[in-house]
A and B are shown apart, each in its own frame.
Chain A
């Protein structure tokens, strides 16, 4: 079998990078550094920020006031990164993040966005039918909860601070962080106790 054809999009990307480099707008080294930073990031960073907020009121206040400062405090380099805003879920209010214009995502603390986040389907439906989207994810909000869809259109990047699940009293930061998935940080899911712990 012959090797699969090289996608045209890759050739186009290389031409774009070459053109930007020729104009002195970006260097290969800068691109490599940015890629390395995103490679290092993962939802585990965001999960730890959330777990700490559940345990430490002062940290929670910092996280909500200035997400980028909180990330820096955790050792994440935010230089050159967009400001990070954190959206606090509370009884009666649930946040769902989408970028209808493209795929803005808090890469510094969550890493690369998943494919579905960039899909036309998610981007068009999240703003129009958020309840249908959550239902398809199997995410059931408590009765009476209002949904606030946050369309990430400009210079901020947004992460959700979910509510701490009941039944986690006395848990450590590590235990709590393990409950916080990428999907919960975007708002399509809620932190869930493992089945055996919840039994």
Chain B
């Protein structure tokens, strides 16, 4: 089995699009047992942050489902570029972070922000 891109839905965002990472914290929601209820690939430091789509990397089986052996429909994966200093309130002007983010974690930057559940 290839681990490469799968056939999937059309990309919602094009390179150059301004996007925001959803301000969501599913890891704070727990199962009744107290165990974590999710597996996510969106780093905490990017939640709510704005960036720019640099590339559409293809569609991949959603790891959030794969981790629980659920059916995992392909999701579009992007390379998103973020200015680095604003995230940490320190750093050198012009330094950047380039991170793989799945489409369902992104919203247009001009959309109203989503509050944490």
Contact = CB atoms under 8 A, between A and B. Distances in A.
A82 B4 CA distance: 6
A151 B3 contact: no
Contact of A146 (B60, B96, B100, B101): B96
Interface in B40-69: 41-43, 45, 57-58, 60, 63
A156 B60 CA distance: 10
Contacts of B92: 131, 146-147
Chain A interface category by residue count: 20 to 34
B106 interface: no
Contacts of A68: 4
A150 B88 CA distance: 16
Interface in A17-56: none
Contact of A151 (B43, B58, B94, B95): B43
A129 B3 contact: no
A156 B98 contact: no
Contacts of B9: none
Interface in A92-150: 95, 100-101, 127-131, 146-150
Nearest to B40: A101
B113 interface: no
Given A101-B43, A146-B94, A153 B5 contact: no
Interface string B63-94: 10000000000000100010010001011101
A3 B117 CA distance: 52
B88 A83 contact: no
B17 interface: no
A150 B57 contact: no
A163 B94 CA distance: 20
Given A80-B3, A101-B43, A127-B45, A153 B96 contact: no
A193 B1 CA distance: 42
24 contacts: A80-B1, A80-B2, A80-B3, A82-B3, A83-B5, A85-B57, A87-B98, A100-B43, A100-B45, A128-B88, A129-B90, A131-B91, A147-B92, A147-B96, A148-B96, A149-B84, A151-B99, A151-B100, A154-B41, A154-B102, A155-B3, A155-B5, A155-B63, A155-B100
